[in-house]
Chains A and B, each alone.
Chain A
Amino acid sequence: MNVKRRTFLKGAAVTGALIGLGSTQTEFPFQGLMKAQGSGESKKAVFQNACPRNCYDTCSMLTTVEDGVIQFVEGNPQNTYTNGTVCVKGNVYPRTVYSPDRIKYPMRQKGRGTGNWERISWDEAYTEIAENILKIKKEYGSTLPICLNKYSGNFEIMHYGIEGTMSSLGYTSRATGTPCWPAGIDAQTFDFGTIVNSDPEQMAKSKYIILWGVNPAWTGVHSMNFIEQAKANGAKVVVIDPILTNTAGKAHEFIQIKSSTDGALALGMAKYILDNELYDGQWLANNSIGYKEFFGYVKNNITLEWAAEKTGVRVEVIETLAREYATTKPANIWIGYGMQRHTNGGQNVRAIDALAAITGNVGLEGGGANYAQLDSWGFNYHAMVHPAPEGSEGEADRAVNMNNFAADVLAAQDPPIKMLWIAGRNPVQQDPETTLIKKAFREMDFVVTVDLYMNKTVELSDIVLPATTPFETPGVNVSYWHYWMTLNERAIKPLHETKSDVEIAMGLSAKMNELESGSCTYPTSGDLEEWVGKEFNDTILEQFGLEKWEDLKNGPAKMKNKEVAWKDGDFRTPSKKYELYSEEAEKFGHHPLPVYVEEMKSTEEFPYRCITPHWKLSIHSQFQDLDWMEAISDKPFVEMHPDLAKRNNINEGDLVKVYNEIGYVTVQAKLTKTVQVEEVVMYETWYKNLNYNVNYTVKAIPADMGKKATGMPGIAFHDNFVNIEKV
């Protein structure tokens, strides 16, 4: 092909425009093109919105609204990361809003799990909730029997209002921790002092990119652009993953690694780098502590043969990878969240970080060991911070391990947990050990869930309160990957009787105080847009180059000076250096060095590892259940290698039971050579009318790290071993 891509594209668009002009296209009304009828004076406006989901990309969106109805949601090109497009989930938003399945008004269920729902008014809902809270307070002398379980359903900042609701009632029990990424966070916290990644747009400047256990083609589509740009500039892209993912399909080279052995590969590479003196001694001397100890460990304990045996990657491949990585500058590693969902996941991340450090790729433009960042989150959390009412019993909230939620809730004593408040979460679908979770729900006196749809958690609640979508309530969003901040405007009036978390908090507070004066400190009124303004302080305005927060009405803003993480060597560790040797790690019970920790192994009874990665059409339990998504894919499947299938007499499309000691899933077989023979893959998502839940087989095994930064270790989701049989 000799047409340059850019000119070609432009040319194509121009041709299109010219052709269109002379035609008689308006002669007939067409399917789908019929807009709101009748008025003749329709009002059209475009609003800024932000996608608040638990996703790398946190898209800046533009929403076209005509006569109060959303017509089209598209990307905002002012955000150069999301670059004018939204992913498949962003594109489904009109349906998220207008789906007939939305919960429309508060409802009460007569008998948890019966499906016997009745519509109630907001006032009735508030009254019933407030009475239950007051009853608990009276009976137990404190509000600790109330437990909040809220997490990643909506990361928009005002949604921290739900934590605020709890604080304003007194001291409560709180699901603490985060399920998915804490092992890696702690690992980077030991190494660098915290998590900071380089602006992902800088990936375009890399000459060598390792995508290590990350699948942006499905989970961070916009980053693929910068990877493509790097490729166009001559960079080599290598994917390391147990699965040949769609991202791997775009790479130059793919290394299929046995799950959970990533640290062994990294240490094997380090050994080669050490033996061949390809490390950056200068950088290490100036910026790190413990490199001599690390090199000593590698020298005495690591061989390439061992690494090859562990990982299933040939010695020559490790050698070439190590040489290319160490000698091509800048080299970027993107460390995925999937690869740290193991009992040695944090250690593996530390070993990978070490590669970036010893080769002098830390602080280098286009380099780095990039995992995530929280630097752009310096809001006031005004919606969240509210004092306990005067005279509240106790001193502090009680932490309940989010990652062992059911067991911890059931075990809680003095006082026990009697009431759950669930917001932005679907634990009955998404937590491990579903059976135990259901038991915990059944043991409660009272369960309130705030949600958009009738999901598995709502089914086990007493009261459900209908939540707004991002289009119906104002807010502000940032990402944990890129550095853009987007204002989220109220594009349409809230549908039905839906309310945001902050409005719910205000309403409940009014009722609490009506029933017992002084029992809740949450404000009972306030303008939501003004409240968005209250989230800002001088520092965050400065960081984003804003004079006042309202400047965001002109478009998203990007945090300054985030192009290259750690470029000034300003590590936030106790030593202020990069810590290959971390005393902090030791304090938390780990080896101070990034040593290899044995991975979990299969057993005779359950010989296959079952990986349950993110699915392209959902984020956890959000999206896939919408009918628009089901039009694209309506059937789950288990991916397995044809050799494994043959061994078990399974053919393509056969129903297969995937099981272990805690449960099973029955699902169709999809045979593919892109997965390894001893590993099967099911995607974590749910379908509205199917009893499909990968967590029926997933145990709440803690990952090795997470306690330091997030309070609790993560979950080793991918250390799940199963057996399979044809049904």
Chain B
Amino acid sequence: MGTKMGFMVDSNRCIGCHSCSMACKNYNQLNPDIVWRTVYDIKEDAYGQPTRITMSLACNHCEEPACKEACPTNAYEKRADGIVIHHEERCIGCEMCVYACPYNVPQFDKEKKKVGKCHLCYERLDEGLSPACVSSCPTQAIYQIDVSTIGDGFENSLPGFPDPKITKPSVRFIKPSIVKKL
């Protein structure tokens, strides 16, 4: 089985601090309203006891990327290592991918009139560094993984995450433990 790079999202450690989203903007110097990684509140009673829990999501570098499928100009490429990249100079800004992606990942940049999205900081991986979001997470709640070797024992989804059957996202989750309210 080939390499499938993606993310582990450990919602048991995630504290919902948004460092990861902002680190992505910081490193990639994204235009002001563009966010490639988003920290979502998980529905507060998803596990019974109302609580505040979060999950941090970026592009899932899907096995069957709907973005790529939808793009009329072949702006998307699925690399051998599984990373899905968007080639900006081929993008005509038609936003087909924006509608196609079930995870709201590709972002239309009004200024550039083009789309952009998380590229798993592959150039940092090449240097032996973690992605900017990963290395900026104060609690090590996200990290890059190869889902082909990660093994079982992880969740394929968390409450609120769209059905993984659609695009086979390369993301695995660790469930949050739920505080006991006394």
Contacts and interface: CB of A to CB of B under 8 A. Distances in A.
A30 to B, nearest CB: 6
B179 interface: yes
A631 B32 contact: yes
Nearest to A634: B33
A457 to B, nearest CB: 24
B25 interface: yes
B21 interface: yes
A391 interface: no
A87 B17 contact: yes
Contacts of A25: 79, 85, 122-123, 126
Contact of A1 (B29, B128, B153): B153
A632 B24 CA distance: 12
A91 interface: yes
Nearest to A27: B87
A85 interface: yes
A87 B19 contact: yes
Contact of B180 (A16, A29, A254): A254
Interface string B105-145: 00001001010100100110111101010011111100111
A188 interface: no
Interface string B13-30: 101111101110111111
A29 B119 CA distance: 12
Contacts of A13: 128, 130, 143-144
A256 B125 CA distance: 44
A388 interface: no
Interface string A299-313: 000000000000001
Nearest to B148: A15
Contacts of A73: 26
A29 B88 CA distance: 8
Contacts of A616: 16-18
A64 to B, nearest CB: 9
Nearest to B77: A28
Interface stretch (B44-52, B65-73, B161-169): B44-52
A17 B26 contact: no
Nearest to A64: B27
Contact of B153 (A2, A72, A222): A2
Interface residues of B, number: 71
Contacts of B81: 19-20, 23
A9 interface: yes
Contacts of A71: 29
B122 A20 contact: yes
Interface in B60-112: 79-81, 85-89, 109, 112
Interface in A235-269: 239, 244-256
A12 B145 contact: yes
B158 interface: no
Nearest to B119: A30
A86 interface: yes
Contact of A221 (B29, B54, B126, B139): B139
A218 B145 contact: no
B154 A1 contact: yes
A484 interface: no
Nearest to A623: B22
B182 interface: yes
A16 B5 contact: yes
A569 interface: no
Contact of B182 (A19, A31, A32, A317): A317
A135 interface: no
Contacts of A222: 138
Contacts of A513: none
A248 B178 CA distance: 10
B19 A91 contact: yes
B44 A228 contact: no
B15 A246 contact: yes
Contact of B15 (A29, A32, A224): A224
Interface of A is mostly: mixed
Contact of B132 (A12, A72, A244, A317): A72
A295 interface: no
A690 interface: no
B26 A244 contact: no
Interface string B29-42: 11011110001000
B116 A19 contact: no
A72 B86 CA distance: 22
A246 B26 contact: no
Contacts of A23: 79-81, 122, 126
Contacts of B52: 244-246, 248-249, 674
Given A12-B146, A253-B182, A631-B33, A673 B44 contact: yes
Given A19-B3, A88-B22, A631-B33, A33 B28 contact: yes
A602 interface: no
A217 B15 contact: yes
A324 to B, nearest CB: 11
A83 interface: yes
A530 to B, nearest CB: 32
A250 B53 CA distance: 8
B149 A21 contact: no
B55 interface: no
Nearest to B5: A19
B179 A244 contact: yes
B29 A93 contact: no
B116 A84 contact: no
A235 B72 CA distance: 55
Tell which of A247, A314, A320 has the most Cβ of chain B within 10 Å. Answer: A247
A631 B35 contact: yes
Contacts of A255: 181-182
A92 interface: yes
Contact of B18 (A20, A22, A321, A632): A632
Nearest to B176: A249
Contacts of B59: none
A617 interface: yes
A74 interface: yes
Contact of A248 (B28, B87, B128, B179): B179
Nearest to A84: B135
B103 to A, nearest CB: 17
Nearest to B33: A631
A672 B125 contact: no
Given A13-B130, A32-B28, A92-B26, A251 B151 contact: no
B87 to A, nearest CB: 5
B50 A244 contact: yes
Contact of B34 (A15, A94, A245, A631): A631
B22 A252 contact: no
Nearest to A617: B18
B57 interface: no
A33 to B, nearest CB: 7
- Which are the 9 A-B pairs with shortest beta-carbon distances? A91-B22, A20-B126, A32-B28, A673-B50, A217-B15, A627-B32, A20-B125, A31-B116, A19-B81
29 contacts: A2-B153, A13-B128, A15-B145, A19-B125, A23-B81, A28-B88, A30-B119, A31-B88, A32-B30, A32-B116, A72-B132, A91-B23, A94-B29, A95-B32, A218-B15, A218-B17, A224-B15, A244-B50, A244-B51, A249-B15, A250-B15, A252-B180, A253-B180, A254-B182, A256-B181, A630-B32, A631-B32, A632-B22, A674-B44
